[in-house]
Amino acid sequence: MRKIRAFLEISRWRIQLVSLATILLGPLYASDTLSSLLDLDLLFFGILFLFSITFACNINCYYDRDVDVLKKKHLARSVDRLGASNVRDLLIFETIVIFSLIVYFFLQGYPIIALLASLGWLFGFGYSGEPIRLKSRGYLSPIPVILGVYVLPILAGHLVIDNNLSAGFLIFVAGYSLLNLGANLVNVAEDYVVDKKSNIMTMAHKLGVDKTIGTASLTAWVGGAVILLSLFPLINDFFTGTVFIIMLIAILFTSIDITLIIFSEDIHENTQKKGERLPFYFISTRYPMVLLMLFSLL
């Protein structure tokens, strides 16, 4: 039981509560009817995403074990409970499953999905793994997260249902990635002190915490506005209108909450507090998007 808990910890289960939303956003946007979602390939895509995001979380905890000892002690303890060799074996198993599914999609006639999934694995490894370790490459550090978590899975999910990526969908993806980048940059700023002690040079160390939070605020507001404008046409009845208002409130709360960090007396301390809200930011904004798209198909 302790090892199961440890695995869930290094898989960042709190943040992965939004995995279902990430799996569904692309297919829902691409669908004209609910019946189009009854697709075996969509199930395999969901499994592929879950293994890919779990791999990315696991490898991050594996390589950051000595960093997490300084602050995120529960993650370091979880790696120790599982054992480094067992975590390595787990990463190998996850990689085998991921590339088996990549081969499946390629053989099924989805070469672009296979390519996007391969890039997703590469970003997951390259973000934390040696010798690439992009998380310590200053301005490059957010790129694997933006593309690997906020862009590629949404594009791939759409391609399972429809090969034609409309301009409206691409605009939505752009807004989605910007909104989530804003939340992610709060997490980057939150780890500023610990990362500095561990000689990890993130974007926060290049810009400074103040400018990083300022950038987070800007991207959250711009991304949120783009999402609202791109999804507004989906309102067609009371239910979709109600969900849109809920989504609007969630996006406003997230954007305002991030922006308020700038005006706090101790920006470092407030960043620590707001960093704990990351799962809430993700859950409160993404699931209303899913419900809005779902209700628009009814």
Do residue 8 and residue 103 come from a single domain? yes
Full domain range(s) for residue 81? 1-165
Q: Are 278 and 13 in contact (CB under 8 A)?
A: no
Per-residue CA distances from 141 to 53, 136, 203, 219, 293 (Å): 17, 6, 6, 16, 32
CB atoms within 10 A of CB 2: 9
Residues of the chain with pLDDT under 70: none
Do residue 177 and residue 267 come from a single domain? yes
Domain boundary (165, 197, 223) is at: 165
Which pair of structure tokens corresponds to residue 20? 């279902």
Do residue 202 and residue 93 come from a single domain? no
Question: Residue 253, Cα to own-chain centre: how many angstroms?
Answer: 19
Do residue 257 and residue 152 come from a single domain? no
Do residue 194 and residue 284 come from a single domain? yes
pLDDT tens digits, one per residue of 79-136: 989 999 999 999 999 999 999 999 999 999 999 999 999 999 999 999 998 888 888 8
| pLDDT at residue 235 in the model | 95
Per-residue CA distances from 127 to 78, 236, 285 (Å): 20, 41, 25
Do residue 23 and residue 141 come from a single domain? yes
Do residue 143 and residue 261 come from a single domain? no
| pLDDT at residue 96 in the model | 98
Of all residues in the chain, the percent with pLDDT exceeding 90 is 67
Find the DSSP H helices in 108-234: 111-128, 143-145, 152-161, 167-190, 192-197, 203-207, 209-231
| pLDDT at residue 200 in the model | 78
Domain boundary (136, 165, 194) is at: 165
Domain boundary (149, 165, 181) is at: 165
Which pair of structure tokens corresponds to residue 230? 């791109």
| pLDDT at residue 29 in the model | 97
Do residue 9 and residue 85 come from a single domain? yes
Q: Are 291 and 243 in contact (CB under 8 A)?
A: yes
Considering only CA atoms, which of 165, 160, 298 is closest in space to residue 234?
Answer: 298
pTM: 0.92
Considering only CA atoms, which of 70, 201, 56 is closest in space to residue 129?
Answer: 56
CATH number where 132 lies: 1.10.357
What's the number of domains the chain is made of?
A: 2
| pLDDT at residue 124 in the model | 94
Do residue 171 and residue 296 come from a single domain? yes
Do residue 171 and residue 144 come from a single domain? no
Per-residue CA distances from 17 to 45, 68, 72, 75 (Å): 17, 22, 19, 17
Do residue 187 and residue 86 come from a single domain? no
Do residue 141 and residue 177 come from a single domain? no
